[in-house]
Amino acid sequence: MNNLVDNDDYQKVIQHLDQMLQTHIERTEDDWGIEAIFPPPNFRLMREGNEYFKELGQKAMVED
């Protein structure tokens, strides 16, 4: 899987899906709020996570 949420080429798709969800919530009177905190605290994009784990691996190799 490839998370495209931060890819500028897909922002229109993301906005469209967000609008579809909002319309569904309003139509069904769903009380689940879309105002959830996103990204959650300490959230990392995949590339940031990969860089973080790469740094951890390098530190582990130095400490051994």
Q: State the pLDDT at residue 29.
A: 87
Yes or no: say if 15 and 4 are a contact pair by the CB < 8 Å rule: no
pLDDT tens-digit profile of 49-61? Answer: 889 889 888 878 7
Angle value at C-alpha 43, between 39 and 22, nearest 5 degrees: 20
Residue type, 16: H
pLDDT tens-digit profile of 14-32? Answer: 999 999 988 998 899 887 7
Q: State the pLDDT at residue 64.
A: 60
How does the average pLDDT of the chain come out, rounded? Answer: 84
pTM: 0.45
Rg (CA), the chain: 18
Q: Which residue reads 């959830």 in tokens?
A: 36
Q: State the pLDDT at residue 61.
A: 77
